[in-house]
Amino acid sequence: MDTPEKLTISSALTNYSEKNSSSWFNQLVPYLEGYDNVSLTETEIKLISRITEEQDAGILRHIPVICKGPDCPFAATCPFIAIWKKAEKEGVEDASRKLPLNQPCPLEKRTLIVRTAHYADELNVAPQNKMELSLCVELAELDVFSERLNYYLSSNLKQAELIEDEIATITEDGEAIYRKVISPAIELKLKLAARRSKIQSDLLATRKAKMSVLKDTGKNQTAAGLMAEIKSALEANKKV
């Protein structure tokens, strides 16, 4: 009968299915030891374990904004805020419970999960391929950042302008000389688009390389099979 595993921080932080299948993980996991002075309940250990599993899956908990209720910069379009306001107006007791206060925004978290799954499915990424999965997560993160930026642009008309004036220099008389530059928000949007294009190119390049290897492997296998058939025929002729 197996001995129950001791509940420790290191056990909560360790994905044992990965430990059993990765030699590198086996070598590195000892660095998680050394927290014996910390005392946690089984429920708390399970909570830590669940969070680390989310991180292992690539859905980083640090990307979604933390809900600040009506103080959130995106409150104007948040359905939770609308529900909370309605509850407040109707005099619902403890209406604040309608909000996921001080927790990662469930809407952005859902976007990360859905978009990551979409990209991974579309590109046929294997769950165990952490490198490609991390790129799919980054694409999903860029979607979230783009949505935040679009909201910012729609609610700040001045920033929505493509070109703005920037002080280039000041004359000896104290007169400012301006030059036309791309709006910082628009420039950020272009940078996000460039990063997205780079990731997509990397993922497509990986697939082209794989297809090339498979194609070459198929040719080699066909040639090897043909040589084996010729050899068998020659040997059969010798016996006749």
Digit-coded pLDDT (tens) for 102-136? 988 999 988 988 898 899 898 888 877 888 888 88
Clarify whether residues 202 and 148 are in a common domain: yes
In angstroms, what CA-CA distances link 226 with 11, 45, 213, 215, 237?
54, 59, 20, 17, 17
pTM equals 0.65
Q: What percent of the chain has pLDDT over 70?
A: 66
- The pLDDT assigned to 28 comes to 67
Clarify whether residues 19 and 111 are in a common domain: no
Clarify whether residues 8 and 104 are in a common domain: no
Number of domains comprising the chain: 2
Amino acid type, 4: P
Clarify whether residues 62 and 34 are in a common domain: no
Would you place residue 159 in the very low, low, confident or very high pLDDT band (cuts 50, 70, 90)? low
Clarify whether residues 157 and 218 are in a common domain: yes
Clarify whether residues 97 and 141 are in a common domain: yes
Does residue 146 carry a pLDDT above 70?
Answer: yes
Q: Which residues pair with 179 in a beta bridge?
A: 166
Clarify whether residues 137 and 194 are in a common domain: yes
Clarify whether residues 69 and 7 are in a common domain: no
Higher confidence at residue 170 or residue 86?
A: 86
Question: How confident is the prediction for the chain on average, in pLDDT?
Answer: 77
Clarify whether residues 40 and 67 are in a common domain: no
Amino acid type, 152: Y
Clarify whether residues 27 and 61 are in a common domain: no
- Which of the listed ranges 28-37, 69-78, 159-168 does the model predict with the highest average pLDDT? 69-78
Clarify whether residues 140 and 204 are in a common domain: yes
The phi-psi region of residue 107 (left if phi > 0; otherwise alpha if psi is between -120 and 50; otherwise beta) is: alpha
Clarify whether residues 25 and 141 are in a common domain: no
